Amino acid sequence: MAQIDQFSPTVRTTLKRLPDRGSYDREQVYRILDEGFVCHVGFVVDGQPFVIPTAYGRVGDKLYIHGSAASRAMRSLVGGIPVCVTVTLVDGLVLARSAFHHSINYRSVVILGAATMVEAAEEKMVALRAFTEHVVPGRWDDVREPNEQELKGTTVLALPLVEVSAKVRTGPPKDDEEDMAIPAWAGELPLRIAAGEPIADPHLASGVKPPDYVTRYSRQKQTANGLK
């Protein structure tokens, strides 16, 4: 079956403020998710709101999140309670001539739904591989895979990508016409995640060099891993 290029807006994902910044384009959503690697998961337990940061991985139309099996948050989410997952990429600072019109250029995704626990060992391993490859592509094949005890100690949750929207701001400041003559510098200050020089583990065996995926690491090289 051919995949639909757009997510269908719902009452909850339809943008009411600055709707022109909204997008339901599947490829754009996936590119944002694939470039980021930290999400915030919001949920309510016993009337109390929680928001936790965690790593994630995407496989097709499914987002995986994980954590310790002993985690209160993970135990709560296993029950399939409603969640809101957000991912935000900051692309730059927008400096205007007025304080009011200062802004940030960003790309963000909001996902709504209910996460369910991954029970099948095969899917769980696929998800754990996705986490590793999402953060450092190429790493999985160089390391030891999780053993049975580690698998038992890790909870993996799956969230279908169905109720999803993106929001993006780009471009220069939007100053008022009467402020254009103010002699203050205005424009965009791009920001990027940049990797530093690798620092070897003190216990690293002599002669083991960092692989290319470490020395050439870049989040900007991450692209949608296939609309499948």
Tally of structural domains, the chain:
1
Which tens digits make up the pLDDT trace of 5-58?
988 888 888 877 777 888 889 999 999 999 999 999 999 888 889 999 999 999
Neighbouring residues of 46: CB distance < 8 A, sequence distance ≥ 6: none
Overall pTM surpassing 0.75 (yes/no) = yes
> Is the pLDDT confidence value at 4 over 90?
no
In a domain, 2, yes or no: no
In a domain, 68, yes or no: yes
In a domain, 162, yes or no: yes
In a domain, 147, yes or no: yes
Which tens digits make up the pLDDT trace of 55-114?
999 999 999 998 776 677 777 777 778 899 999 999 999 999 999 999 999 999 999 999
Nearest to 85 by CA among 165, 192, 170, 25: 165
> Is the pLDDT confidence value at 223 over 90?
no
Parent domain of 117: 19-195+203-221
In a domain, 226, yes or no: no
Cβ atoms within 10 A of the Cβ of 24, count?
19
Could you give the CA distance from residue 67 to residue 214 in angstroms, rounded to a whole number? 25
> Is the pLDDT confidence value at 227 over 50?
no
Rg (CA), the chain: 20
In a domain, 34, yes or no: yes
CATH of the domain at 106: 2.30.110.10
Which tens digits make up the pLDDT trace of 190-217?
999 889 999 999 999 999 999 999 999 9
pLDDT value of position 226: 44
Task: Quote the tokens at residue 98.
Answer: 């007025």
